[in-house]
Amino acid sequence: MRPLRIHVEGIGLWSKQLGDFAALQALLGGHAPEPPSPKPAATTLPPNERRRAPESVLLAAEVAGQAVAMSGRTADSLTCVFSSSHGDQAITDYMCATLASAPKELSPIRFHNSVHNAPAGYWTIATGCHEPSTAVCAQRMSFGAGLLEAISHALADRCPVLLVCSDIAGVFPLVEETGCTQSFGCALVITPDLSDSTLASLDITLAPIQDLADDALPEPLAGWRTANASAEALPLLAVLARGHGHCELKAAASLALRIELRAAAARQDHAPSRAAEQVA
């Protein structure tokens, strides 16, 4: 099967340990990155929205804003795919507890923020984006499933796409089921064509899940990957940070994505990979 080729123009990243993609590059380069702020800044959202938005929305908006800013594109021009394994676990836990004890006291605002596409709604309203948006959920395969959805949009519609994948830490007792013990979010702006803003080119091949090889990650990345389903993106983010390599991701119960980062020489007349330059 001929690989599907896409191009990355922007990368966003936020966790309690890493404030952006440059922090991951520094970490993999053997340096101690600056710790991020206690919570995502999400400056793309208007101040009033930032004050009332839940953590799940702030996290998604923060990484989306980083990726779009790096790409140099305008947010209102991008088709969006928002992916999350668990949605807002804190609000889900609140709603379950309230419905069990005092259902008439359920907060309409919290109910409004509980839906899986709430981050997509906040983002598209704040940025004035009228392009298509999709919300994806596939448990620990949510990043791979979201990436495949984003690739499909980019190649079928020949358009740039913003992919966002994020999950916040769970709360007791829900966290015992989800195993999500820390927050993590990431975002990519991908395009079907090379441009002066291209950071890296990726070849993606679909493969049976039984042929999937486990991508070993160094600590602390391996522990972060275990602690948050959205951090299943870390193998690809590490490849992008190093500027070379390959990885494999689960996209469905029987489907894997084999991803190869193309060498800068394959880009012919375009400038060398900025991701590789930053690592060097």
Q: Which two tokens stand for residue 268?
A: 């012919």
Question: Which residues are 260's β-sheet partners?
Answer: 203, 246
More confident position, 80 or 89: 80
Question: Which residues are 211's β-sheet partners?
Answer: none
| 211, pLDDT greater than 90 | no
Q: Which two tokens stand for residue 167?
A: 């999950």
Q: Which of 49-53, 77-81, 92-96, 103-107 has the highest mean pLDDT?
A: 77-81
Cα 194 to Cα 192: distance, rounded to the nearest angstrom: 7
| pLDDT tier at 212, thresholds 50, 70, 90 | low
Domain residue spans of the chain: 4-279
Q: What angle do CA 80, 82, 88 make, to 5 degrees?
A: 150
**What average pLDDT does range 39-59 have in this prediction?**
94
pLDDT, tens only, 1-38: 789 999 999 999 999 999 999 999 999 999 999 889 99
Longest dimension (CA), the chain: 65
Catalogue the E-assigned strands of the chain. 4-15, 79-83, 133-136, 161-167, 184-191, 200-208, 246-252, 255-262
- Give residue 82's identity as a one-letter amino acid code: F
**pLDDT at residue number 178:** 87
**What average pLDDT does range 195-221 have in this prediction?**
86
**What average pLDDT does range 57-70 have in this prediction?**
98
Give the least confident one: 123-132, 140-149, 203-212, 246-255: 203-212
- The answer to pTM > 0.85 is yes
Cβ neighbors of 40 (< 8 A, separation 6 or more) are 14, 55, 58, 59, 61, 62, 63, 185
Q: Which CATH superfamily is domain 4-279 in?
A: Thiolase/Chalcone synthase (3.40.47.10)
Q: Above pLDDT 70, what percent of the chain?
A: 92
